[in-house]
């Protein structure tokens, strides 16, 4: 009996304490008619993810959205079960819209479907899902792989030994990029892929893997890289003072290197393309325009334009925005791992550097309407649709022409 009492006292004390602590945590929300928007991240802790999330947060605080949007950020980690659970909680909490970077293109479909049935809008940025009722906003169908591969082939004149620096094994984005690139490389018998490694879209890993590949093949002629490409440059510099033509994504370090006369003299040429964090802002504005009925948009796959900056077009930004066609920031303002494509003067004029770095709105900015046309993304099975086929000419070049005949 005494035991029972002790147990009961302990339990009720703890319950009281936790409830007390809990009510402290939960603020009483004003019952305005605000749109309840959830920003659902899976990965966190890399520059791309943080900048994309900061852009959405900044836009949500820019007038008039600061009065009409209640935005909450939820980070689930790399476990798909956790993101499924997060989506379910958000649907239950009465979300109007969920803007998200999904961890899996397929595992979340059932939960998304249930949410759609309850009237929740799902907008995915950069990564996509194959669920038809979700909106996918991504550059992935814009041909990063094939266009950068052709650029590299053009620079190399159709022959040479190259490295392939990939992303994460077992990931659809990595697969799509690499398939596109290999489609081009396979047309040129003079191009040999001597090393193919997984860099996990990380500068450090790219540097380490490139160093290993260089030990085996010191006479490489060019490198085709996904994100983390600045690490490859560091590996080349550490080995000797020679660089090779490279294509990669859009880290600040890579772009500055492309424009640096010293690096160019050492042999660096190439193109900076890759995944723009600005996609998140575009997706958010599309979602808000749909929610506020300014736009009538049925669930579809939307293509975000592929950034394309060859070495001779790199221009240093003087201020905090992409003005006058500038497209890279000085090293004093941002680290080399900063992903540069956070701006789009056409779609997102309300942003400045502070938005991407800290998630703060730009003083004096107000939300501008988006251009009316939207580019529909072609079907990509396994990426943005499940029972579909890729159109003919899936790997059509859009940014560049082949200057060398296969």
Which 337-376 positions form the footprint of another protein (CB under 8 A)?
337-338, 357-359
Q: Does the footprint of another protein cover residue 118 (CB under 8 A)?
A: no
Alpha helices in 266-352 (DSSP H): 278-291
CA distance 400 to 310: 11
Contact present, 309 and 252 (Cβ < 8 Å): no
Q: Does the footprint of another protein cover residue 115 (CB under 8 A)?
A: no
CA distance 285 to 9: 52
The CB-of-27 to another protein minimum distance in angstroms stands at 7
In the block, residue with structure tokens 């690096």 = 263
What are the φ/ψ torsions at residue 382 (nearest 5 degrees)?
Answer: 85, -15
Stretch that binds another protein, among 150-158, 208-216, 319-327, 344-352 (CB under 8 A): 208-216
* Integer angstrom CA distances of residue 206 from 39, 111, 238, 287: 29, 35, 13, 35
Which 75-114 positions form the footprint of another protein (CB under 8 A)?
75-82, 84-86, 88-90, 92-93, 104-110
Which 25-54 positions form the footprint of another protein (CB under 8 A)?
25-27, 44-47, 49-51, 53-54
Q: Does the footprint of another protein cover residue 389 (CB under 8 A)?
A: no
How many residues are recorded in the chain? 406
Contact present, 366 and 62 (Cβ < 8 Å): yes
The CB-of-271 to another protein minimum distance in angstroms stands at 23
The CB-of-109 to another protein minimum distance in angstroms stands at 6
Stretch that binds another protein, among 144-152, 194-202, 267-275, 294-302 (CB under 8 A): 194-202
CA distance 192 to 383: 28
The CB-of-185 to another protein minimum distance in angstroms stands at 14
Q: Of 231, 159, 83, 164, which is closest to residue 406 (Cα–Cα)?
A: 159
Written as six digits, the tokens of 289 are: 């325009």
Beta-bridge partners for 165: 197, 225
The CB-of-237 to another protein minimum distance in angstroms stands at 9
CA distance 56 to 239: 40
Which 295-324 positions form the footprint of another protein (CB under 8 A)?
none
The CB-of-270 to another protein minimum distance in angstroms stands at 20
Q: Does the footprint of another protein cover residue 1 (CB under 8 A)?
A: no
Q: Does the footprint of another protein cover residue 334 (CB under 8 A)?
A: yes
Residue 373 burial (10 A CB sphere; 0-12, 13-18, 19+): exposed
The CB-of-397 to another protein minimum distance in angstroms stands at 23
Q: Does the footprint of another protein cover residue 175 (CB under 8 A)?
A: yes
Stretch that binds another protein, among 166-174, 183-191, 320-328, 397-405 (CB under 8 A): 166-174
Q: Does the footprint of another protein cover residue 223 (CB under 8 A)?
A: no
């Amino acid at each position: 009996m005494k035991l029972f009492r002790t147990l009961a006292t302990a339990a009720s004390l703890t319950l009281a304490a936790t409830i007390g602590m809990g009510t402290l945590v939960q603020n009483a929300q004003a019952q305005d008619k605000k749109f309840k928007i959830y920003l659902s991240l899976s990965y966190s802790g890399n520059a791309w993810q943080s900048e994309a999330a900061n852009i959405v947060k900044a836009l949500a605080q820019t007038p008039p959205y600061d009065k009409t949007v209640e935005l909450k950020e939820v980070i689930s980690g790399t476990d798909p079960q956790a993101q499924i659970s997060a989506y379910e909680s958000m649907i239950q909490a009465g979300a109007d819209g969920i803007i998200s970077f999904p961890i899996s293109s397929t595992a979340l479909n059932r939960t998304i479907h249930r949410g759609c049935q309850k009237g929740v809008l799902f907008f995915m940025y950069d990564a996509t899902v194959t669920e038809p009722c979700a909106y996918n906003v991504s550059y992935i169908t814009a041909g990063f792989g094939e266009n950068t591969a052709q650029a590299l082939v053009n620079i190399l004149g159709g022959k040479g030994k190259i490295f392939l620096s990939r992303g994460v094994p077992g990931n659809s984005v990595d697969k799509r990029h690499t398939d596109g690139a290999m489609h081009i490389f396979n047309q040129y018998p003079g191009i040999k892929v001597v090393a193919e490694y997984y860099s996990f879209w990380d500068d450090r890993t790219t540097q380490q893997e490139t160093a290993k590949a260089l030990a085996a093949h010191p006479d490489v002629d060019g490198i085709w890289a996904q994100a983390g490409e600045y690490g490859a440059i560091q590996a080349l510099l550490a080995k000797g003072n020679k660089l090779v033509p490279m294509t990669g994504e859009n880290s600040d370090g890579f772009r500055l290197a492309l424009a640096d006369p010293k690096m160019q003299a050492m042999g660096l040429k190439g193109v900076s393309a890759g995944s723009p964090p600005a996609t998140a802002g575009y997706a958010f504005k599309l979602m808000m325009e749909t929610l506020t009925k300014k736009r009538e948009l049925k669930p579809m796959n939307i293509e975000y334009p592929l950034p394309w900056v060859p070495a001779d077009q790199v221009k240093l930004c003087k201020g905090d925005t992409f003005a006058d066609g500038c497209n890279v920031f000085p090293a004093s303002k941002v680290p080399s791992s900063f992903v540069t494509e956070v701006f789009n003067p056409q779609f997102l004029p309300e942003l400045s550097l502070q938005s991407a770095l800290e998630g703060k709105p730009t003083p004096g900015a107000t939300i501008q309407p988006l251009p009316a046309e939207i580019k529909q993304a072609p079907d990509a099975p396994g990426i943005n649709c499940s029972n579909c086929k890729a159109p003919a000419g899936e790997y059509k070049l859009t940014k560049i022409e082949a200057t060398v005949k296969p």
